[in-house]
Structure 1
Amino acid sequence: MQSLRGILNFTRTAELGSFAKAAKDLGISAVAVSQNISRLEAALGVRLLARSTRALQLTPEGQAFLEQCRLPLAQLDAACKEVASDARSASGKLRATVISPVAYLYLIPLLPKFLQRYPGIALELELSEDSSPLINKRFDVGIRVGALDDAAFVARPLGPLRLLLCASPAYLAQAGLPQSLEDLEKHQALLMQITGREQTTPFIVQTRGGEAGAGARSMRFLQLPGHFICNDFRSLAQACSGGLGIAQLPQPLALPMLRNGQLKVLLPDSVAENIQLFIHYPTRKQLPARVRAFVDFVIELFAGHPDLTADISGFVA
């Protein structure tokens, strides 16, 4: 690092012809410039500048060294300008990760509008069923369930994400309608299993009463046995609409099938109401313009989407 500072001080002095002019250009004192160059000469073991009371003159070694330094310094300068330009303009690669039901139903249909508005952005999108926070991945932005417990990220709420217990009319006609959460043990559960995890994802429900008080609602996680397990919500929804059993589906994914009668909502009083969808991005004072553009776009066109809070009472079995 010291050598790089000395090289920069040396090249500016050689090009401008004096310590004073180089100091003004670099924003430091002439004494500091002279000292930095002296340290560089000591490290290299060679004299680069011949100093006199009247003028500075490059030594033969200094002239050769200057020629060798010009190209890499120009490349570094160009790299810095390119990064600064990308930060100020919405351009460059943007790496985003989004839970797949949200991506398929809402984000991907909006991408043509986003990329038309910001043609300089190259979007790299990862779809994931995993609702866990962003961990150890070099993403610029992510849409996930829940807020990150990490001071390095900002979490902006997009709206609630209800998880509905659903089944097809055909399945209910054959297996009967569950009247309580305990009844689910008697039914065929269709389960999600995130790739790389040993256990299936439990059904997340809320119940009234218990230790929290008669009117309070508490969260419960039901680990049910199932005869169908997959790692994709769309496949789970299709299996559910085909009559294979009961699945817990994100409301945005279930709504089209609820509206056309393929699915019915079960036990609506057990729907967990405090699960939230968030967009996450790093807490940087100078957030790159491409990240800011994506965050603002998502919040403008997606946050508070009516499907997230749609009334499901008309779809209850």
Structure 2
Amino acid sequence: MELSQRVRAIVSFVEAASAGSFAAAARSQGISPAAVSKNIAGLEQALGVRLMNRTTRTLSLTEEGTAFLQQARIAIGALDTAMDAVVARKMETRGHVRISTSTAFGREQLLPVLPGLRARYPGISVEVDFDDRVTDLIADGYDLTIRGGRIVDSSLISRPVCQLKTALVASPEYLARCGVPKTPADLANHHLIARRFLGGRVSPWGFRGSDGSLTTLEPDAAAVTLSAPEAQTQAALLGLGIAQVGVHHALAHLQAGALKAVLVGQHDPGNYEMVIQYPHRALVAPRVKATVEYLLDAFRQDASLHFPLERLADYAAG
């Protein structure tokens, strides 16, 4: 007798012994009395002993049946306890959550909201990998990832965090020394700070013409080329040149006057989407669901991620 058949048979036996009839056991299980009788007969055959004496009116347990009923009830009680423990764990929302995200977003956006997550869900522990490589969420064992770009993997659920916009920025000291560019063509006379992705591609700069056309500049002859976006912001603060950076990276420095935006209205900010992804499963673990929903709410309240681009002119170089 297979395990699944054995479990059904044991349940039929316990129900019949408790209720005193096959008909009552059948009603509680949603099967026919004949199926209950067949289950118990199969159990007896597998055990090699008679558990019940049947007549047309009554059921009575044999000595072996009485002993087996006691053990079977203990086993079923253990299963109920196991299920209750899972439900209780779900209610407590506890467990370990592994997150993968980029170094810059992890340090500047994710880390500051983790104290709030831990305060709300003290039973959740968090492990974060700061890695700019593209990871295989499932193969690498992550519960969720926070990444930029449009994801086409149908095995993942993708929840939007925000649209990340870029801007061209430079320090006031650099602009005082080298001048403020008035057109994209003026950039040929400036020191540029470029970003090279880990795959080797240099991030292009886009510009919109008065007719809506889009042109791109490949900053191949940059004075400084860096791989980390937060390092580009730091390089601009140090007066090394003009950098294309995420507005969320530069906003605090723009507001403090340590950076100025250039070519506002001409530079194309792009349309870079930040998303939270997790495996597409029928039942998402409560620890993962709670973490995702908390992070989405926290990121919605992060003003730097949702800065109105039209206000960038307030921080433009004169």
Give the Å deviation of 1:207: 3.2
Matching residue of 2:307: 309
Give the Å deviation of 1:162: 1.0
Decide whether aligned partners of structure 1 residues 20 and 133 sit closer, same or farther in structure 2, where only a CA change above 3 A counts.
same
Of 161-170 and 48-57, the range deviating more from structure 2: 48-57
1:165 aligns with 2:161: no
The answer to whether the 8 A contact 1:99-1:131 is kept is no
Decide whether aligned partners of structure 1 residues 11 and 113 sit closer, same or farther in structure 2, where only a CA change above 3 A counts.
same
The answer to whether the 8 A contact 2:254-2:260 is kept is yes
**Percent sequence identity over aligned pairs:** 26
Matching residue of 1:206: 206
1:295 counterpart SS class: helix
Matching residue of 2:48: 47
The answer to whether the 8 A contact 1:258-1:315 is kept is yes
Give the Å deviation of 1:254: 1.4
Matching residue of 1:298: 295
Matching residue of 1:237: 233
Decide whether aligned partners of structure 1 residues 13 and 156 sit closer, same or farther in structure 2, where only a CA change above 3 A counts.
closer
Q: Which amino acid aligns with 2:235?
A: A
Q: Which amino acid aligns with 1:294?
A: T
Matching residue of 1:5: 4
Distance in 1, matches of 2:40 and 2:296, equals 52
- Which of 88, 95, 104 aligns to 2:98? It is 95
**How many correspondences in the alignment?**
305
1:113 aligns with 2:116: yes
Of 221-230 and 290-299, the range deviating more from structure 2: 221-230
1:189 aligns with 2:193: yes
Could you say what the CA RMSD is over the residues aligned between the two structures, in angstroms? 4.3
Matching residue of 1:265: 261
Matching residue of 2:107: 104
The answer to whether the 8 A contact 2:161-2:275 is kept is yes
Distance in 1, matches of 2:136 and 2:270, equals 19
Q: Which amino acid aligns with 2:48?
A: R
The answer to whether the 8 A contact 1:129-1:231 is kept is no
1:280 counterpart SS class: strand
Unaligned runs of 5+ in 2: none
Q: Which amino acid aligns with 1:8?
A: V
Distance in 2, matches of 1:265 and 1:51, equals 87
Q: Could you state the TM-score of these two structures normalised by the residue count of structure 2?
A: 0.71
Distance in 2, matches of 1:94 and 1:150, equals 21
Give 1:239-254 correspondences, 5 Å limit: 239-254=235-250
CA deviations on 1:135-169 (whole Å, 9 max, x unpaired) are: 75544333322343244444343332112233334
Q: Which has the larger radius of gyration?
A: 2
